[in-house]
Amino acid sequence: MEVDCEMQSPGDESIVKLWIQENNTVVRRWKDFKTRGDFQTLKKKLLECNSELSHLLQKIQGLQPTADNLPLELTVVYNTLLIHINITGGFLCEHQEELKNALFRGKES
Could you give the CA distance from residue 69 to residue 72 in angstroms, rounded to a whole number?
A: 6
Give the residue extent of every domain in the chain: 13-108
User: Is 23 in contact with 57 (CB distance < 8 Å)?
Assistant: no
Q: Residue 95's closest CA among 59, 50, 38, 65?
A: 50
Cβ neighbours around 30 below 10 Å, total: 21
**What is the chain's length?**
109
**2 φψ region: left (φ > 0), alpha (ψ -120 to 50), beta (else):** beta
Positive or negative CA dihedral for 37, 48, 102, 17? negative
pTM: 0.81
Q: Which residues contact 73 (CB under 8 A, 6 or more apart)?
A: 57, 60, 61, 65, 102, 105, 106
Q: Tens of pLDDT along 66-91?
A: 888 889 999 999 999 998 888 888 88
For the chain, residues with pLDDT lower than 70 are 2-13, 37
